[in-house]
Chains A and B, each alone.
Chain A
Amino acid sequence: MKLTHIGLSLLLAIVTAAPAWAGARRFTYVYEVTTSPPGDVEVENWVTWKTRKPDDHGFDQVDFRHELEFGITDKFQMAVYVADWNYHHGMSAGEPGFTLSGSAVEFIYNFTNPVSDPIGLAAYQEFQAGYHRFESESKLLVQKTLGSWVVAYNATLEAEWEGDGLEEREGEFQQSLGVSYEINPHVLIGVEALHEIGFPDWSETEDGKFFAGPNISVRSGVWWATVTGLAQLTSDGGEPDFQLRTIVGFSF
C-alpha cells in the first residue's frame, strides 16, 4: 500500500508536466544565476521523496510543488508556487495522510553573467505562507560556467514563524554546491551537496547536517527533467537518510 501510494504520486507529478527547455535546470537543490527570458512562462512540477530516518526507519514522505515561472526582464524573473503539499507516513510524521503546506512567491534578480564576467551572481527571495505559518528564504546565488562545466553555490538564510500568533520562530543557514557537466545538449550529469545548520528559536545552534549525491538532467524535444539523489552523510535522527528529487519542466 505504501509503495503504491508513492508510485502513484510520482507518476501523477511526472505526467502532469509537459514540454520545453527555456529555463531547464541542471540541479534540483541548487539554483543557477541565469533567469528566464522576458515573456517566457514555464510550469515546473517538483516531487521530492524522503525516506528512512535514523530514528524512524518506517518514515516516508513525498513533497509536491507546482511552480509557474515568469520571465519579466532579461535580469529578473518571478515565480508562484501554487501549492506545496505532501503525503507522509511513519512514526515521526504523525497520522499518515496528506498535508497542504501553503503557497509561495519567489523573485530572482541576476547581477552578473557566469560566462563573460569573472563570477555570476544573483539574489533570490521567497515568501511562503500557510495555515498559521510564514517563511522567508533569502539566497545569494553564485555560479561560474566554464565550457561544458557549471559550478554553482548558494548561501541560504531561512526564517520561519509558526503557531496561532506566529510566535514560534526558528531559522536555518544552508550552503549548497552543485557541479554539472554537459555530455551533450540532451544529457548532463553532476553532483550536489547540502550543508544545513538549524537555529531553533534563534537561541540555539544545532549540529550541522550534510547531504550529497549525484544528479542527471535530460532534455528531449520540448521537455526537460532533472533528478537528484541525496544521502545523509551525518546521523541526524530528524533528517531522512535518503531523498530523491525530480523536477520536470515545460514552458509555453
Chain B
Amino acid sequence: MRLILSSALLAVWALLVGGCETTPASAPPVTASFIRAGVRAHADAPTLTEGRRLFLNRCIQCHALPHVAKYDPQKLTAILKTMAGRANMNEEQHDALLKYLLTVRSQ
C-alpha cells in the first residue's frame, strides 16, 4: 500500500511537470527587440529586467500572472498602484514593474 501510494504521488507529479513550458507568454523575456519596444515606455534594459523579475517573483505569490493585453494603460496603472502596496514594493520597483508591463502590453 505504502509503495503504491508513494509511486502514485510521484507519477502524478512527473506527468504534470513533464513537457511544461518554462517561459510564460504573459512574462516575455527581455530580449533586444523587447528593449527597443521599451523605449516607448522610457525604460532601459536594467529597468525592464528588474520589472520582469518583480512580475515573476512578487505577483505569483498571490495570483496567476495576468495577460496584461486585456487592460488599457490607464486601468493597468490603477491596478498596479493597488497591487504594489500589497506586494511591498518601493517606488522604484513599482516604476520598473509598470514599465515592464506597459512594454509587454505594447507588443
What is the interface of chain A, defined by CB distance below 8 A to chain B? Answer: 20-24, 34, 36-40, 71, 74, 113-119, 142, 144-148, 151, 153, 175, 177, 182, 185, 193, 195, 197, 207-208, 210, 219, 222, 234
Contacts and interface: CB of A to CB of B under 8 A. Distances in A.
Contacts of B74: none
Given A113-B57, A208-B1, A151 B16 contact: yes
Nearest to A186: B63
A177 B14 CA distance: 12
Contact of B9 (A153, A182, A185): A153
B60 A145 contact: yes
Residue picked from B12, B21, B60, most chain A C-beta under 10 Å: B60
Contacts of A23: 61
Interface residues of B, number: 28
B33 interface: no
A7 to B, nearest CB: 30
A238 B32 CA distance: 61
A40 B58 CA distance: 12
B56 to A, nearest CB: 5
Interface string B9-20: 100110011001
Contact of A113 (B6, B20, B21, B56): B56
Contacts of A146: 16, 20-21
Contacts of B78: none
